[in-house]
Structure 1
């Protein structure tokens, strides 16, 4: 990709080239042919966006095996004026690579990113029962370190790593779950809302007002009573005291959907702090279906009925 120049034409991602994050960024049509800026972590990627060095950043937010990415969730909760403008899914699998001439029987120490190690540990323990583990900052960095004086004998890396580094693949498909998927989000400073597509997701972060019994149920009722499904609900410590948590929530639907808007109004009345992270098209493009009583028309009709009562209009029969 071309070197970064105009920040409006630059996208940040967890590098270097060859990472799963880069694979997610390749799915963004608007980023094609633009400058891509590799960074070392989520904080640096989002700092690029808030400082104006980049127009957007691609970051991992959820994994089907490990759950939510805490560093991303905490950053989105505490850095103001960020919006998710799109989500992208990347199948996750791994290969074991080594320097040319190394055999699997020679491997005593493995370099791997902690998340990648967690997703391959059963294979590693079965095939290399006495191996040691050196943590790496990224999957690609684990592989690159083998050519840069690492004491490791092999590394867990993404498929295709040999396109970027002169390494030998010792084993393929070493992930413990062949169906593992990581969800990435593209984060920007834009506040413009995309139009609803019928297959959308809304991301928010909310806090409970206090630790009174039943408060979590009260929060969840804001969605249940309006027919709004949650596809993600995770708690993260706020950090100011023990027992204080914020909740990262993904809702099925768009903020311009009547049921979602009404649920957010109820949530805002209940929660002392609600962070709206954005409404955007779902990566899987699966349409959201609701029963008639939760349709846009039903909410509009109910409001019209109430206005008619207040205005003293004759009832329709």
Structure 2
């Protein structure tokens, strides 16, 4: 983990859900925090050494994976996930003071926020045009600019509360009141967080060959060792049509024998596999381990095989004589 005096980058501007996630990291409230215009900029700040770590969104309970993050951490100089944070998501519709709901023709926000408010928008602003924003907070703050080309924004309640020139026209407009976004704290490769028993391991696995059974071979590396997958998503590599990699979250830690063995199997069939880290789960949910996949059983099996090795010999030594000789 970065030191308390670390510099953190986050998907900005100030007031985003990402900053709220960052503020849950011990010491981050007192540390230097640098907003970034997009996920790539935040991660490149870490790669360049200008920041010790970056907080970025990776998954939403309604919309699934955040593709910008999945793609950005799968390529370029390697990074490590050292922590995850879960943030409940609530949205408000804001506009400049004096603007009425019936005046709104164009609405800006992040694409994940727009997707999570579709039902409310269809019922209350059926003709509103969507204007993509780099973040929910950026969309809201854009309303304060003189040349703003949209009428309202969807953002976190905190933004509306901190901007006196904006007013909330509608609150809690999300279609799912239990929506949660998962954020990850990413740093340069270094010492991994210790195993807690409630851990998650993230890897990126390129599909080595597009053929029947190729994905099954990848999944078998986990299934045969009793490793549960909590998330698996395919993303195009961008090299050519039909070429994909898989972003995978597995229950467990690299220090777990079953996880280490599964990663070794992945590397054998897909040498370009990228290890993104083992880190504590934000929900503290302990991993259920079947008796036959425990560390003790893996160690016992290794000792058994090692005990058989001395029996290996050559015909010339006489140790490998046929029982019929």
Q: TM-score, normalised by structure 1?
A: 0.93
- Picking from 4, 25, 30, the partner of 1:28 is 25
Answer whether contact 1:7 1:53 (CA < 8 A) is retained: no
Give the structure 1 partner of residue 36 of structure 2: 39
What's the secondary structure of 2:177's corresponding residue? coil
In structure 2, distance between residues paired with 1:209 and 1:96: 46
- Please list the CA deviations of residues 192-231 of structure 1 after superposition, one character each: whole Å capped at 9, or x if unmatched: 1121000000000011221221111111101000000011
Give the structure 2 partner of residue 229 of structure 1: 228
- After superposition, residues 214-225 of structure 1 pair within 5 angstroms as 214-225=213-224
In structure 2, distance between residues paired with 1:113 and 1:215: 35
Deviation, 1:72, is: 1.0
- Please list the CA deviations of residues 167-201 of structure 1 after superposition, one character each: whole Å capped at 9, or x if unmatched: 11111110111121111100001321121000000
Once structures 1 and 2 are overlaid, which stretch shifts more, 180-189 or 100-109?
100-109
**Is 1:127 the counterpart of 2:124 in the alignment?**
yes
Give the structure 1 partner of residue 66 of structure 2: 69
Deviation, 1:286, is: 0.4
Deviation, 1:105, is: 2.5
**Is 1:187 the counterpart of 2:203 in the alignment?**
no
What's the secondary structure of 1:79's corresponding residue? coil
What's the secondary structure of 1:278's corresponding residue? strand
Answer whether contact 1:42 1:72 (CA < 8 A) is retained: yes
- Please list the CA deviations of residues 212-266 of structure 1 after superposition, one character each: whole Å capped at 9, or x if unmatched: 2111111110100000001111111112221111110111000000100111111
Once structures 1 and 2 are overlaid, which stretch shifts more, 172-181 or 278-287?
172-181
Once structures 1 and 2 are overlaid, which stretch shifts more, 112-121 or 220-229?
112-121
Answer whether contact 2:81 2:277 (CA < 8 A) is retained: yes
Answer whether contact 2:205 2:270 (CA < 8 A) is retained: yes
Question: What is the total number of aligned residue pairs between the two structures?
Answer: 307
In structure 2, distance between residues paired with 1:275 and 1:136: 31
Largest Rg, 1 or 2? 2
In structure 2, distance between residues paired with 1:43 and 1:245: 20
Moved runs in structure 1, 4+ residues, more than 3 A?
none
In structure 1, distance between residues paired with 2:198 and 2:25: 18
In structure 2, distance between residues paired with 1:257 and 1:42: 31
Deviation, 1:309, is: 2.2
- CA-based RMSD of the aligned residues comes to 1.6
- Picking from 53, 56, 59, the partner of 1:56 is 53
Give the structure 2 partner of residue 153 of structure 1: 151
- Please list the CA deviations of residues 11-39 of structure 1 after superposition, one character each: whole Å capped at 9, or x if unmatched: 00011111000010011103231100011
In structure 1, distance between residues paired with 2:131 and 2:29: 35
**Is 1:280 the counterpart of 2:279 in the alignment?**
yes
In structure 2, distance between residues paired with 1:212 and 1:104: 53
Answer whether contact 2:106 2:128 (CA < 8 A) is retained: yes
Once structures 1 and 2 are overlaid, which stretch shifts more, 133-142 or 281-290?
133-142
- Please list the CA deviations of residues 125-180 of structure 1 after superposition, one character each: whole Å capped at 9, or x if unmatched: 10112222222221112111222132322211111112321211111110111121
Give the structure 2 partner of residue 315 of structure 1: none
Q: TM-score, normalised by structure 2?
A: 0.91
- After superposition, residues 2-13 of structure 1 pair within 5 angstroms as 9-13=6-10
Give the structure 2 partner of residue 238 of structure 1: 237
In structure 2, distance between residues paired with 1:93 and 1:133: 19
Answer whether contact 1:208 1:272 (CA < 8 A) is retained: no
- Picking from 85, 88, 91, the partner of 1:88 is 85
Give the structure 1 partner of residue 97 of structure 2: 100
